[in-house]
Structure 1
Amino acid sequence: MNKVMSNKWIIALYVLPALLLIGILIFIPLILTGYYGLMKWDGIGSMEFIGLQNYVTALQDKKFWDSALHSFLLAVFSTLSLFIYLAISLILASKIKGADLLRKIYLIPMLLSSVAIAQLWVKIYNPSNGMINSLLMAIGVENPPAWLAEPSLVLYAIFIPILWQYAGFYILIYYAALKNIPESIIEAAKIDGASPIEIAYKIKLPLIMGVVKVTIVLAVVGSLKYFDLIYVMTGGGPNGASEVMASYMYKLAFSTNNFGYGSAIGFLLLIITLIVTLIIRKATATKEEIQY
């Protein structure tokens, strides 16, 4: 077996199917997206090569930068919400009563489709008989806001179901990392007189910092390319107040049949995501990870 696995041709043969799938499903579409961005094309008829005009137009497009700002705001809120998920995971991992039930409850949003979640929260935000406004009117608020129709509120109203949707995912990751810490380390800290807060901050958190860094990258990248729930709930409205880069790209390509410009937006979204990911990895890089 060792002789076979030391043969480079055999290794290449084993790796080739995976490389072909990655090339066909990932790299070729990326290259085609960048290529279509060089064209004036409605997605059906003939293409007209216009060079970098679509990319230059995108960089001068106020709506594109507004949608980029909204995507970055979502990324910021998603990153900040990780502190809440981490705190919940620390509580669940501390052997509290009912922790198993709570973990299952937090996972429920992951079992629902984005469309179902969007429809649920549209009902919750309904200005006349939605749950939120009904509660506000019950405590004396005469004119509660129309959450999804107010340009100043809609973006933040949409952030709440998005963060709720992925809460269980990140809590599960943190919980698994925390449960992987050897119990002997925790017991030794308790014997030395460390308080629960000190154990959480000075022992548990440093030991799972590698996992925390991964979740930061996942949260930011996922936020920059987020699309489905926003599109179902508001379609980017009202008047672009909840538009993000992915929904703006979709509208250009499939609603206005400006496939070339939409492809350019999509390729710029890829570049922005890669740059942000590299910045995050550089900012969170350490010389060595704690081993246990």
Structure 2
Amino acid sequence: MDKVMSDKKVIALYVLPALTLVLALIYIPIVLTGYYGLMQWDGIGEMVFIGLDNYSRLIADPMFWKSAYHSFLLAIFSTASLFGYLLIALILAEKIKGANLLRKIYLIPMLLSSVAIGQLWLKIYHPSNGVLNQFLTALGFTETPAWLADSSTVLGAIFLPIVWQYAGFYILIYYAALKSIPESLIEAARIDGATPWQIAFRIKIPLIASVIKVTLVLAIVGSLKYFDLIYVMTDGGPNGASEVMASYMYHQAFRGFDFGYGSAIGFFLLLICLVVTWLIRKLTAVEEEIQYS
């Protein structure tokens, strides 16, 4: 077996299928997106090379920067929600009654498609028959907002189901990381008189710092390229009030039939995600990883 695995041809044969898929699904589309971004193209006719004109147009496009602002607001909102997810995971990691049931409940949104979640929350936010406005009416409010039709409320109304959709994913990650901490460390801290809060913030959280950094990258980058629920619930409306970079890219390419400009937006979004990921890694870098056995 060692002789076979030392053969470079055999190794290449094993690697080739995965490498082909990665090239076909990731790297080649990235290169093509960058190439199309240099063209004026409607997706059907002849492509015309225009150099960096699409990127000059992007920089001067106020609607793009408005959508970018909304994407960064979503990234901030998603990052802040990580603290809530971590707190829930800390509670579930303790030996509390019903923890197993609660973990399963939190995972339910992950089992639903984005279209199903979008339709569910459209019913909740319905201006006259929605559960939310009916609840507000029962409390005595005479005027209830049109959550998804009002530019002042639409962003918050969309951000809430997005956070709800991914709550189980992050809670599960944090829960698994917390459960990997040796119980002997926790017991030793308790014997020394540490309170539950001290154990959580001085022992548990520092020990899972690398996991928190990964979730931070996932939350921010995922928010910057988010598309699903926004497309289903508002399609970027009203009047662009909920437009984000990914939905703006879609509208330019597939509705405006400007695939060159849409590709430029997509490639620029990729560069933003790479820069943000690099910045997070730099800002959260530690000199030495905590080791325990």
Normalising by structure 2, report the TM-score: 0.98
User: Following TM superposition, by how much is the alpha carbon of 1:271 offset from its aligned partner in structure 2, in angstroms?
Assistant: 0.6
* Structure 1 equivalent of residue 164 of structure 2: 164
SS at match of 2:67: helix
Within 5 A, what are the aligned runs for 1:84-99? 84-99=84-99
Mapped to 2, the partners of 1:208 and 1:135 lie a distance apart of: 40
Mapped to 2, the partners of 1:142 and 1:40 lie a distance apart of: 52
Mapped to 2, the partners of 1:10 and 1:59 lie a distance apart of: 49
User: Following TM superposition, by how much is the alpha carbon of 1:21 offset from its aligned partner in structure 2, in angstroms?
Assistant: 1.5
* Structure 2 equivalent of residue 102 of structure 1: 102
Instruction: Between 122-131 and 236-245, report the one with greater CA deviation.
Output: 122-131
Percent identical across equivalent pairs?
73
What CA deviation, in whole Å up to 9, does each residue of 1:149-202 have, x standing for no partner?
A: 111110111000000000000000000011111111111111111111111011
What CA deviation, in whole Å up to 9, does each residue of 1:99-133 have, x standing for no partner?
A: 00000000000010000100110111111121111
* Structure 2 equivalent of residue 23 of structure 1: 23
Aligned residue-pair number: 292
What CA deviation, in whole Å up to 9, does each residue of 1:197-231 have, x standing for no partner?
A: 11101110011111000000000111011001001
Mapped to 2, the partners of 1:127 and 1:115 lie a distance apart of: 20
SS at match of 1:107: helix
Within 5 A, what are the aligned runs for 1:83-232? 83-232=83-232
Within 5 A, what are the aligned runs for 1:38-117? 38-117=38-117
1:159 alignment partner AA: F
Mapped to 2, the partners of 1:30 and 1:225 lie a distance apart of: 15
1:145 alignment partner AA: P
SS at match of 1:237: coil
1:173 alignment partner AA: I
What CA deviation, in whole Å up to 9, does each residue of 1:241-273 have, x standing for no partner?
A: 000000000000011111111111111110111
2:194 alignment partner AA: A
Mapped to 1, the partners of 2:207 and 2:9 lie a distance apart of: 40
Mapped to 1, the partners of 2:66 and 2:130 lie a distance apart of: 29
1:186 alignment partner AA: I
User: Following TM superposition, by how much is the alpha carbon of 1:143 offset from its aligned partner in structure 2, in angstroms?
Assistant: 0.6
**Structure 1: tracts of 5 or more residues without a match:** none
Mapped to 2, the partners of 1:2 and 1:72 lie a distance apart of: 51
User: Following TM superposition, by how much is the alpha carbon of 1:279 offset from its aligned partner in structure 2, in angstroms?
Assistant: 0.5
Mapped to 2, the partners of 1:173 and 1:152 lie a distance apart of: 34
User: Following TM superposition, by how much is the alpha carbon of 1:9 offset from its aligned partner in structure 2, in angstroms?
Assistant: 4.2
SS at match of 1:42: coil
User: Following TM superposition, by how much is the alpha carbon of 1:140 offset from its aligned partner in structure 2, in angstroms?
Assistant: 1.1
Query: Structure 1 residue 254 and structure 2 residue 254: aligned?
Result: yes
Mapped to 1, the partners of 2:73 and 2:259 lie a distance apart of: 27
Q: Indicate the RMSD between aligned Cα atoms, in angstroms.
A: 1.0
**Structure 2: tracts of 5 or more residues without a match:** none
